[in-house]
Amino acid sequence: MNILFDERLDGALPSVDREALIAHLQAELPQLKLLHREEDLRPFECDGLSAYRVLPMLVALPETLEQIASLLETCHAWGVPVVTRGAGTGLSGGALPLEKGLLLVMSRFSRILEVDPEAHIARVQPGVRNLAITEAAAPYGLYYAPDPSSQIACSIGGNVAENAGGVHCLKYGLTVHNVLAADVLTLEGEHITLGSEALDTPGFDLLALFTGSEGMLGVITEITVKLLPKPEVAKVLMASFDDVEKAGKAVGDIIAAGIIPGGLEMMDKLAIQAAEDFVKAGYPIDAEAILLCELDGVEADVHTDCETVRGVFEAAGATDIRLARDDAERATFWAGRKAAFPAVGRMAPDYYCMDGTIPRRELPHVLKSIAELSATHGLRVANVFHAGDGNMHPLILFDANAPGELALAEEVGGKILELCVEVGGSITGEHGVGREKINQMCAQFNPDEITVFHAVKAAFDPHGLLNPGKNIPTLARCAEFGAMHVHHGNLPHPELPRF
């Protein structure tokens, strides 16, 4: 399956005279850094989903708001598609360029404008790295809560565009819960502010609508985030299980005990072994699953909660329970989890990271089905799971140089996502739809729902120039690929051959 933009299915894109556009932009915006030679465009041909590459028509690296507004006005007037890119770490191809499009790179907007410890806010430009916000807030005992694994490199603008998550979402929320305001430039070059430092604003909640909209509604130019006081103390328990199902049940039992852990992560055997090989975190390599449970807050409460969770683990049949003795050991426990993706990456030439969410009760069933898919397709799958919030990251191991394996990995991935939808979950918890999951959108949403998405898009971008082909599929695409959706195990038109 080729997921690159296909005008037959994704809609025709306007063709503009590239040389005339370059000349126009150079004349209009002489200070603007504009890349157009092939060797300069090459570094921008993909984002974190590097299996897919397209050379953009042009790359712009603006440095001022005026430049962005002017660029957008030109693109609007000329009919040039615009793909906005932050740090390019996204895993769903949300910033995959278009041959006929301009790539708007926000990396030069990398200033932290203000950290206000009294107001508990930071005002930042969109190109600021996620972790840089927490680093800037640290001297005041504050931090920015959402922590995607790419936090060292990913930009806050991209986080807002994708509604990024991390390992602490159950307790501290996603990006949408931690952003107070965003300045946006519309495709028509108008400036609007969504949200505010006050806790509500009049009118529709456009900030919620823009968060996770994948650059389809406007260009984010400034963000105000909420900072939280750093918890007084954080402790991590690691429990080993000889059975994945027992581990899954223990997760529910912790919640049933009235505890909301700061982080609650599960890894299966393959992921444990990969991580242990890579970072020597002291993980039990014989275990079928481990749970990492972080409890944070005020010391007295954390101590009580640790005892409760230990009791839950014992009752659930954990074969080993360890409490990190100090912050150093806590960091070691987490290091294995945080490095799980690259660790798994060492076990095969390539891996494909999925991002489905499921109701937690479905975990045993879903893991069993993934194991079956893995066996029947001959591809190993390691499972890393934000167990607290039901967000799975199956990592499909394959070799892109082996004929047919990429397609096979995509097929397994697609089936896993459809499985997530079938059990009541979603095709993406935090990585976004981007280009990667554009076909699976047709499994999660019916044509009427997709039509409503198009209506929302039309309110902000009637000509479909902002990031076309991402996030929301066309009905034509769904007619082509949605028909393949297996509903309750029944193929539509089972009489037809399928390849």
Partner 1 sequence: MTHPQDQRPALASESLPAADHDASDALLDRVQQAARDNTPLRLVGGDSKGFYGRPVSGETLSLAEHTGIVHYDPVELVVTVRAGTRLTDLQQTLAEAGQQLAFEPPHFADTATVGGMVACGIAGPRRPWAGSVRDFVLGTRLITHDAKRLRFGGEVMKNVAGYDLSRLMVGAQGTLGVIDEVSFKVLPRPAASARLRLEMTRDAAMARLAEWGREPLPITGAAHDGETLHIRLEGGAGSVATTRERLGGEPDDTDFWRRLRELKLDFFSRRNDSRPLWRLSLPHRAPAVPLDGDELVDWAGAQRWWRSHMSAETIRQHAAHVGGHATRIDLDQPHGIEMPFTPLSPVLAKYHRRLKAELDPHGIFNPGRLYEGL
Do residues 427 and 433 lie in contact, with contact meaning Cβ atoms separated by under 8 Å? yes
Helix (H, G, I), strand (E, B) or coil at 58: strand
Of residues 33 and 177, the one with the C-beta less far from partner 1? 177
Cβ neighbours for 288, distance < 8 A, ≥ 6 positions apart: 241, 242, 243, 244, 247, 268, 269
Residue 466 found at the interface with partner 1 (CB under 8 A): no
Residue 301 found at the interface with partner 1 (CB under 8 A): yes
Using the contact rule CB under 8 A, the part of the chain among 42-50, 54-62, 184-192, 237-245 near partner 1 is 184-192
Residue 453 found at the interface with partner 1 (CB under 8 A): yes
Please state the closest distance from residue 440 (CB atom) to partner 1, in A: 8
Of residues 348 and 427, the one with the C-beta less far from partner 1? 427
Please state the closest distance from residue 169 (CB atom) to partner 1, in A: 6
- Binding letters toward partner 1, positions 45-64, x by CB under 8 A: --------------------
Residue 197 φ/ψ region, left for φ over 0, alpha for ψ in the -120 to 50 degree band, beta for the rest? alpha
Residues 383 and 397: their CA atoms lie apart, in Å, by 11
Residue 297 found at the interface with partner 1 (CB under 8 A): yes
- Binding letters toward partner 1, positions 115-134, x by CB under 8 A: --xxxx--------------
Please state the closest distance from residue 171 (CB atom) to partner 1, in A: 9
Using the contact rule CB under 8 A, the part of the chain among 236-244, 331-339, 358-366, 402-410 near partner 1 is 358-366
Using the contact rule CB under 8 A, the part of the chain among 10-18, 113-121, 267-275, 369-377 near partner 1 is 113-121
For residue 223, the surrounding DSSP H or E stretch is strand 219-226
Do residues 337 and 167 lie in contact, with contact meaning Cβ atoms separated by under 8 Å? yes
Give the residue from 447, 418, 304, 428 showing the smallest Cα distance to 354: 428
Cβ neighbours for 198, distance < 8 A, ≥ 6 positions apart: none
Residue 223 found at the interface with partner 1 (CB under 8 A): no
Residue 390 found at the interface with partner 1 (CB under 8 A): yes
Please state the closest distance from residue 140 (CB atom) to partner 1, in A: 7
Residue 445 found at the interface with partner 1 (CB under 8 A): yes
Please state the closest distance from residue 422 (CB atom) to partner 1, in A: 6
Residue 177 found at the interface with partner 1 (CB under 8 A): yes
Residue 384 found at the interface with partner 1 (CB under 8 A): no
Of residues 70 and 332, the one with the C-beta less far from partner 1? 70
Of residues 25 and 161, the one with the C-beta less far from partner 1? 161
Please state the closest distance from residue 389 (CB atom) to partner 1, in A: 4
Please state the closest distance from residue 488 (CB atom) to partner 1, in A: 8
- Looking at 176, 225, 353, 363, which residue binds partner 1 (CB under 8 A)? 176
Give the residue from 217, 226, 98, 102 showing the smallest Cα distance to 156: 226
- Looking at 432, 464, 468, 469, which residue binds partner 1 (CB under 8 A)? 432
- Binding-site residue total for partner 1 (CB under 8 A)? 102
Beta bridge partners, 291, equal: 239, 266
Sites for partner 1 among residues 229-258 (CB under 8 A): 229-232, 252, 255-256, 258
Q: Is the dihedral of CA 167, 173, 176, 182 positive or negative?
A: negative
Of residues 42 and 454, the one with the C-beta less far from partner 1? 454
Of residues 38 and 448, the one with the C-beta less far from partner 1? 448
- C-alpha count within 13 angstroms, C-beta hemisphere, residue 154: 26
- Looking at 428, 439, 467, 474, which residue binds partner 1 (CB under 8 A)? 428
- Looking at 17, 63, 99, 190, which residue binds partner 1 (CB under 8 A)? 190
Sequence-ordered strand ranges (E) for 342-470 = 350-353, 381-386, 391-398
Of residues 103 and 472, the one with the C-beta less far from partner 1? 472
Sites for partner 1 among residues 16-45 (CB under 8 A): none
CB atoms inside a 10 Å sphere around CB 401: 9
Residue 174 found at the interface with partner 1 (CB under 8 A): yes
- Looking at 431, 435, 470, 477, which residue binds partner 1 (CB under 8 A)? 431
Residues 397 and 418: their CA atoms lie apart, in Å, by 19
Give the residue from 201, 152, 213, 102 showing the smallest Cα distance to 471: 213
Of residues 81 and 388, the one with the C-beta less far from partner 1? 388
Of residues 214 and 268, the one with the C-beta less far from partner 1? 214
- Distance of CA 438 to CAs 49, 224, 392, 473, 480, Å? 14, 30, 19, 6, 12
Cβ neighbours for 302, distance < 8 A, ≥ 6 positions apart: 232, 233, 234, 235, 295, 296
Sites for partner 1 among residues 470-499 (CB under 8 A): 471-472, 485, 487-488
Sites for partner 1 among residues 136-165 (CB under 8 A): 140-142, 162-163, 165
Cβ neighbours for 352, distance < 8 A, ≥ 6 positions apart: 51, 395, 396, 398, 409, 410, 413
Residues 462 and 175: their CA atoms lie apart, in Å, by 27
Dihedral of the alpha carbons of 73, 74, 80, 86, in degrees to the nearest 10: -60
Residues 439 and 434: their CA atoms lie apart, in Å, by 10
- Looking at 114, 446, 479, 491, which residue binds partner 1 (CB under 8 A)? 446
